[in-house]
Chains A and B, each alone.
Chain A
Amino acid sequence: MKEKLEQIRKITKEKIKDLKSMQELTDLKAKVLGKKGELTEILRGMKDLSAEERPIIGSMVNKVRDEIEDAIKEAQQNIEQALINKKLEEEKIDITLPSVKIKRGSKHPINRVIEEIEDLFVSMGYDVISGPELETDEYCFERLNLPKGHPARDMQDSFYITNEYLLRTQTSSVQARTMMANKNCEPIRMICTGKTYRREDDATHSHQFNQVEGLVIDKKERNVSLADLKGTLEVFVRKLIGENSRLRFRPSYFPFTEPSYEVDVNCFKCGGKGCNLCKETGWIEILGAGIVHPNVLKMNGYDPEKFGGFAFGTGIDRLAMFKYGITDMRYLYTNDIRFLNQFDRKD
């Protein structure tokens, strides 16, 4: 019996080494360990053994069975692993083939710049206010110290719908609206962005363009001054154009501010040395600004003896062109998909 056991052990272990599939493994397991298996046979034959022999053989059988079971378990793991490996091997793909092309949208460059400007001013405590694009002569001109017949109206040749209604030539109309809406004469800190329209169309002027307008009004004792205006615009220009930007204020004339200034920034192409972009002057005109004209305050319900402040405005189209290096203004409005697709990522 001992010999028989030893033989079973030896042969079975040989067979286990040659196992190739789960089926073979199951068959072998049944043949040795199953109900009619070889080891079971031996256990069954133990009843014929003497009382002395029985425990000895019994423990031998158990030992052989444990050994075989372990070997089978190990073989099983090996086979399973081989199967997984085979499957993985079969599933190998060429990861350099193209992905599923999920369309990536894009935001128009002008609106990107508008959002950037709005975020900046909101962070400085300004309210973003919007107003109508179809505006009345009253809000677009008269309340801004531009009475009918004023020569400065020529600077802003307009698209009229009737004698009274026109497409706004400037976002400044929202200044008047904001002041008029503020019946209690609270201090104002606001910007307005949006479309504006003028009756001109050439290589450097589009009849439709975008502006941002800012207005700060506070009590006289707070002394909102030209220096504050300069500091505010420095923050604006440094954020939008570059940290090394310097400003130059040039006196100018706008009916709604007095004093009025045109504001230049040092040329970002040449840094101020002079080049074709800045027409060899080193400066690029970028903003109009000034101290709110007392007539404008008065006409919109604020007492110029008690309140004062500044206003500024600039064209966004040109800023967007500078920022992204867009070479021709017309690209902004033709909406070529190849153009739009270039503004499809975080900046």
Chain B
Amino acid sequence: MKLSKNFVKDYIDVDVDLKTLAEDMTRVGNEYDSAQKLIDATDLVIGKVIDCVNHPDSDHLHVCKVDVGTEVLNIVCGAPNVRKGLKVIVAKAGAHLPGGIIIKKSNIRGQESNGMLCSIQELGIEHKFLKEEDIDGIHELPEDAPIGGDPIKFMELDDEVIDFELTANRGDLLSILGMAYEIGAIYDKKVKEIDLSHTENGEDINNKFKVDIQTDNCSMFLAKKIENLTIMESPTFIKNRLIASGIRPINNVVDISNYVMLETGQPLHFYDADRLGNMIRVRMAEENEELTTLDGIKRNLSKNDIVIANSQKAIGLAGVMGGLDTEVENTTKNIIIEAAIFDSVKVRITSKKILRSEASNRFEKGLDPNRTYMAIERACNLLEKYANAKIITGIVKYDKTKKDDREIYIKYENINSVLGINIPKEEVLKVFERLGFKYVENGDEVKVIVPRRRLDISIKEDLIEEVGRIYGLDNIEGKLPLIEMRKGSCDNTLREIRNKMVSLGLNETLTYVLINENDVKKYTLDKFDELRLLDPITEERNVLRYSLIPSLVKVYEYNVARNIKDVSIFELGKGFYKKEEYGENLKLCCLMTGDYILDIKNKKKVDFYVIKGIAEEILNYLGYENRYSFINNKEIPKEFHPGQTGIISVNNDDVGIIGRLHPSIFKDDVYVLEINLDKLLEKKVGKMKFKEISKYPRIQKDLAIVAKNEIESSKIEKEIKRTAGKLLVDIVPFDVYYGKGIDKDKRSIAYSLTFETIDRTLTDEEINGMLNKIIEDLENKLDVSVRKE
């Protein structure tokens, strides 16, 4: 809402400067975007062109002598309409114009120029507000403009404007009167009366005109007839106030409807009475009913749109836009004024579809029925004055609204306990007076009578807010709540996983949950319905991700495109799906490529075993040691390298995937890991507990096994463990050898075995016996042999 200071001064005395007003309004809850002069320019003066000749070296420039009262200036001007005898707006050398322009003395093709003759646009009036004659040339002031005078004052453009960003509940402030009440409350001033006076003539309209309201979505409808209008240009103050408020002046009649809307907050609609007929009907539109609106567009309506109709057809979209057929034109003589209240939700839905306008905005926020009457009368007052109109007696009324004021009871103690301060009773009552609320005192309680205009106030908490904001919130001292002491709780699992991943050298990322539909089923074989947005901003991001891998792949691609080749990243985030129900799972995803250890001498390129190490670190850290395995005989998604990918299984339940992305898709070696944490963490882990340590030395033995390539190391380890039993405390494969001395389809794996027992020193005989048993079992059960040195 753009507030013209001149406009609001009709109703309230404002004796502070603009910035103070804007800041004081902000303090009571009305934020502003900008506060500035309507014309933000200096050193402008009215001048008269006393001589004007063509520039000798130009085909379009003119060299003018301009009398500005104190002196005669030589000014070069390119406007086609500059001529001798014209009164003009002169920006003298040193003048500041909107947009940071500073006028300087200059020399234009050999001719001295000591200023600029201005157009209206150069003064900062938006193009859409310009009259036709102002578009191409400098502004022509009338003959009576005083030479040497201030052109801004002369044109009555010496206004200031605050552009407020109002909250959704303060529909009352979408009017000059509402603003006046608010300013009055701040500075303790009274709002002045609005002039509604006019004379009524002729036979009562009710005898000739009917309204027929067929829907509950219209709670009020007033119609008033006006005859014998003279359509012409509006008086300057109306035009300028409309411009300051952001509305384009058109002619006196249209302008008055807008002017009254700005004053009272009640949108009006004027119909050409002769084309309308003798009745108005309000109803819901038929499905697919057609209507051509004011802007010439043929609209296809639905049964959710409220329409205004005459006896034959729809003639307007209630609260949103009038129809073309009954539009007020330059030849219009007689009009019907509509002042109505339509359902805010219905107007909102229709306007969202068609057009959001000043009017629809006000309907959406709600209207005060008292103002509906006021608006009609005010329009009569202005039309009589500025359009020589004849006001016909009577108003056709349909009115189902409540107009009585609300009564709210509140205890003083209640106010203070919510605000946490002690405002004396007298101060509380004073606030209500300033707001223009009547009240009746009753002991420790007060009955407040809230005027209808304040639609936002319905419960006592609303009154508490009013007291707080007008009394001044800066008066409230902060303190901490007096509540029972206890320790707060927080599940730190996520954070511990994050810390662990960071300590392993990975960068944490944060990516978007919304991704493209083409990626959502990638990297997984899980069966689920993707979740698609009904109304995405862009088709690039139209579904919710299921896996985090597509997001991390995008991060990898982004960085590689910038020549950053070592990417080791992880993210903790949710994946979404519909299986039977809608659901979401917390996932840990990790992507690695390039070098893991970075210095030149000790480089370690990421391979499967690096990312497997990351996976094991996390699983061991979370307490799943010895409970997981990496399985590679299952079907895997096609985006993975079939020979370097495994399913992560904990207690025989699949919780994730680990592996290399398919080399035909990614030219670098890219490894990823994803674990469904919800699934993993539901597997219980025992408390961390001390185990007795042996006092006796451990014995270490190496064993080299030659096995066919398809026999997995984990199988051999498992067999060794089974035979060795409790004595074996650790087994680590430390070397894998292919080549000389070994059959082509085989390899040799060397294991380091550590034996230990809690109660005695192990003897060589015992261990050698054990080794022989292990070898025997291995050779019997698996197709392997033990390599002799």
Chain A positions near chain B (C-beta within 8 angstroms): 98-108, 110-111, 115, 118, 121-128, 130, 132-134, 149, 151-152, 154-155, 159-162, 165, 167, 187, 189, 195, 197, 199-201, 207-208, 216, 218, 222-228, 230-235, 247-253, 258-262, 281, 291, 293-294, 308, 332-338, 340-341, 344
Could you tell me if A291 and B461 are in contact, using CB atoms closer than 8 angstroms? yes
Could you tell me if A218 and B508 are in contact, using CB atoms closer than 8 angstroms? no
Q: Please, what's the 1-or-0 string for B148-171, where 1 marks a CB less than 8 Å from any CB in chain A? A: 000000000000000000011110
Q: Give, as a whole number of angstroms, the nearest-CB distance from A98 to chain B.
A: 6
Could you tell me if B483 and A216 are in contact, using CB atoms closer than 8 angstroms? yes
12 CB < 8 A contacts A-B: A102-B597, A103-B506, A104-B505, A105-B504, A108-B509, A152-B169, A159-B535, A226-B468, A230-B476, A252-B167, A253-B167, A259-B461
Give complex CA distance A231, B461 in Å.
21
Q: Please, what's the 1-or-0 string for B1-31, where 1 marks a CB less than 8 Å from any CB in chain A? A: 0000000000000000000000100111101
Could you tell me if A160 and B508 are in contact, using CB atoms closer than 8 angstroms? no
The secondary-structure label for the interface of chain A is mixed
Other 9 A-B pairs with CB < 8 A, given A227-B477, A344-B507: A103-B506, A115-B495, A122-B490, A216-B481, A223-B420, A225-B418, A225-B420, A228-B478, A235-B480
Give complex CA distance A100, B31 in Å.
56
Could you tell me if A103 and B597 are in contact, using CB atoms closer than 8 angstroms? yes
Could you tell me if B27 and A122 are in contact, using CB atoms closer than 8 angstroms? no
Give complex CA distance A208, B515 in Å.
12
Give complex CA distance A152, B166 in Å.
12
- Given A227-B419, A250-B29, A336-B558: A207 and B514 interface contact (C-beta under 8 Å): yes
Could you tell me if B26 and A107 are in contact, using CB atoms closer than 8 angstroms? no
Could you tell me if A207 and B568 are in contact, using CB atoms closer than 8 angstroms? no
Q: Please, what's the 1-or-0 string for B415-450, where 1 marks a CB less than 8 Å from any CB in chain A? A: 001111100000000000000000000000000000
Q: Give, as a whole number of angstroms, the nearest-CB distance from B382 to chain A.
A: 30
Q: Does B693 contact A (CB under 8 A)?
A: no
Q: Does B345 contact A (CB under 8 A)?
A: yes
Could you tell me if A105 and B505 are in contact, using CB atoms closer than 8 angstroms? yes
Residues of B within 8 A of A258 (CB): 459, 461-462, 464-465
Could you tell me if B465 and A251 are in contact, using CB atoms closer than 8 angstroms? yes
Give complex CA distance A124, B785 in Å.
65
Give complex CA distance A336, B511 in Å.
11
Q: Please, what's the 1-or-0 string for B467-510, where 1 marks a CB less than 8 Å from any CB in chain A? A: 01100011011111111111111110001001101111111111
Q: Does B584 contact A (CB under 8 A)?
A: yes
Could you tell me if B26 and A134 are in contact, using CB atoms closer than 8 angstroms? no
Could you tell me if B29 and A133 are in contact, using CB atoms closer than 8 angstroms? no
Could you tell me if A251 and B488 are in contact, using CB atoms closer than 8 angstroms? no
Could you tell me if B461 and A293 are in contact, using CB atoms closer than 8 angstroms? yes
The 8 A-B residue pairs with the shortest CB-CB distance, nearest first, are A227-B420, A103-B505, A225-B420, A251-B29, A259-B465, A231-B478, A105-B502, A253-B167
In this complex, which of B23, B421, B483 has the most chain A Cβ atoms within 10 angstroms of its Cβ? Answer: B483
Residues of A within 8 A of B690 (CB): none
Residues of A within 8 A of B507 (CB): 105-106, 335, 337, 340-341, 344
- Given A231-B480, A259-B461, A335-B558: A226 and B29 interface contact (C-beta under 8 Å): no
Could you tell me if B473 and A249 are in contact, using CB atoms closer than 8 angstroms? yes
Q: Does B224 contact A (CB under 8 A)?
A: no
In this complex, which of B29, B365, B569 has the most chain A Cβ atoms within 10 angstroms of its Cβ? Answer: B29
Could you tell me if A226 and B418 are in contact, using CB atoms closer than 8 angstroms? yes
Residues of B within 8 A of A261 (CB): 473
Residues of B within 8 A of A225 (CB): 417-420
Residues of B within 8 A of A207 (CB): 512, 514, 537, 541
Residues of A within 8 A of B210 (CB): none
Q: Does B667 contact A (CB under 8 A)?
A: no
Residues of A within 8 A of B483 (CB): 125, 187, 189, 216, 218, 222, 224
Which B-chain residue is minimally distant from A232 (CB atoms)? B480
Which A-chain residue is minimally distant from B568 (CB atoms)? A103
Q: Give, as a whole number of angstroms, the nearest-CB distance from B380 to chain A.
A: 31
Q: Give, as a whole number of angstroms, the nearest-CB distance from B29 to chain A.
A: 3
Residues of B within 8 A of A281 (CB): 23, 26
Residues of B within 8 A of A248 (CB): 27, 473-474
Could you tell me if A161 and B508 are in contact, using CB atoms closer than 8 angstroms? no
Could you tell me if B345 and A161 are in contact, using CB atoms closer than 8 angstroms? no
Q: Give, as a whole number of angstroms, the nearest-CB distance from B559 to chain A.
A: 5
Could you tell me if A149 and B345 are in contact, using CB atoms closer than 8 angstroms? yes
- Given A104-B505, A105-B504: A227 and B476 interface contact (C-beta under 8 Å): yes
Residues of B within 8 A of A161 (CB): 531-534, 544, 582
Question: Considering the complex, which residues of chain B in the window 569-624 have a beta carbon less than 8 Å from any beta carbon of chain A?
Answer: 569, 573-574, 576, 582-584, 596-602
Give complex CA distance A308, B461 in Å.
11
Q: Give, as a whole number of angstroms, the nearest-CB distance from B568 to chain A.
A: 6
Residues of A within 8 A of B573 (CB): 195
Which A-chain residue is minimally distant from B416 (CB atoms)? A225
CB < 8 Å neighbour of B168 from A103, A155, A167, A250 = A155
Could you tell me if B501 and A105 are in contact, using CB atoms closer than 8 angstroms? yes
Residues of B within 8 A of A124 (CB): 480, 488
Which A-chain residue is minimally distant from B469 (CB atoms)? A251
Residues of B within 8 A of A294 (CB): 459, 461
CB < 8 Å neighbour of A106 from B27, B420, B495, B508 = B508
CB < 8 Å neighbour of A128 from B364, B417, B491 = B491
Could you tell me if A226 and B419 are in contact, using CB atoms closer than 8 angstroms? yes
Which B-chain residue is minimally distant from A207 (CB atoms)? B537
Q: Does B124 contact A (CB under 8 A)?
A: no
Residues of B within 8 A of A260 (CB): 465
Could you tell me if A199 and B537 are in contact, using CB atoms closer than 8 angstroms? yes
Could you tell me if A197 and B479 are in contact, using CB atoms closer than 8 angstroms? no
Which A-chain residue is minimally distant from B534 (CB atoms)? A160
Q: Does B355 contact A (CB under 8 A)?
A: no
Could you tell me if B480 and A127 are in contact, using CB atoms closer than 8 angstroms? no
Residues of B within 8 A of A253 (CB): 29, 167-170, 456
Residues of A within 8 A of B348 (CB): 149, 151, 154
Could you tell me if B487 and A125 are in contact, using CB atoms closer than 8 angstroms? yes
Q: Does B344 contact A (CB under 8 A)?
A: yes
Residues of B within 8 A of A115 (CB): 495
CB < 8 Å neighbour of A159 from B468, B477, B514, B558 = B514
In this complex, which of A100, A101, A189, A338 has the most chain B Cβ atoms within 10 angstroms of its Cβ? Answer: A101
Residues of B within 8 A of A128 (CB): 488-491
- Given A100-B602, A258-B465: A165 and B582 interface contact (C-beta under 8 Å): yes
- Given A118-B490, A155-B168: A291 and B558 interface contact (C-beta under 8 Å): no
Residues of A within 8 A of B697 (CB): none
Could you tell me if B498 and A107 are in contact, using CB atoms closer than 8 angstroms? yes
Q: Does B69 contact A (CB under 8 A)?
A: no
Q: Give, as a whole number of angstroms, the nearest-CB distance from B675 to chain A.
A: 17
Could you tell me if B598 and A101 are in contact, using CB atoms closer than 8 angstroms? yes
- Given A155-B168, A224-B483, A333-B512: A105 and B506 interface contact (C-beta under 8 Å): yes
Q: Does B661 contact A (CB under 8 A)?
A: no
Could you tell me if A335 and B511 are in contact, using CB atoms closer than 8 angstroms? yes
Q: Give, as a whole number of angstroms, the nearest-CB distance from B401 to chain A.
A: 19
Q: Does B564 contact A (CB under 8 A)?
A: yes
Residues of A within 8 A of B505 (CB): 102-105
Q: Does B555 contact A (CB under 8 A)?
A: yes
Which A-chain residue is minimally distant from B32 (CB atoms)? A281
In this complex, which of B465, B505, B531, B534 has the most chain A Cβ atoms within 10 angstroms of its Cβ? Answer: B465
Could you tell me if B490 and A222 are in contact, using CB atoms closer than 8 angstroms? no
Q: Does B536 contact A (CB under 8 A)?
A: yes
Residues of A within 8 A of B26 (CB): 250, 281
Residues of B within 8 A of A250 (CB): 26-27, 29, 31, 473
Q: Give, as a whole number of angstroms, the nearest-CB distance from A135 to chain B.
A: 10
Could you tell me if B511 and A125 are in contact, using CB atoms closer than 8 angstroms? no
- Given A134-B582, A201-B537: A251 and B481 interface contact (C-beta under 8 Å): no
Residues of A within 8 A of B490 (CB): 118, 122, 127-128
Could you tell me if A154 and B508 are in contact, using CB atoms closer than 8 angstroms? no
Which B-chain residue is minimally distant from A97 (CB atoms)? B601
Which A-chain residue is minimally distant from B29 (CB atoms)? A251
Which B-chain residue is minimally distant from A122 (CB atoms)? B488
Residues of B within 8 A of A333 (CB): 510-512
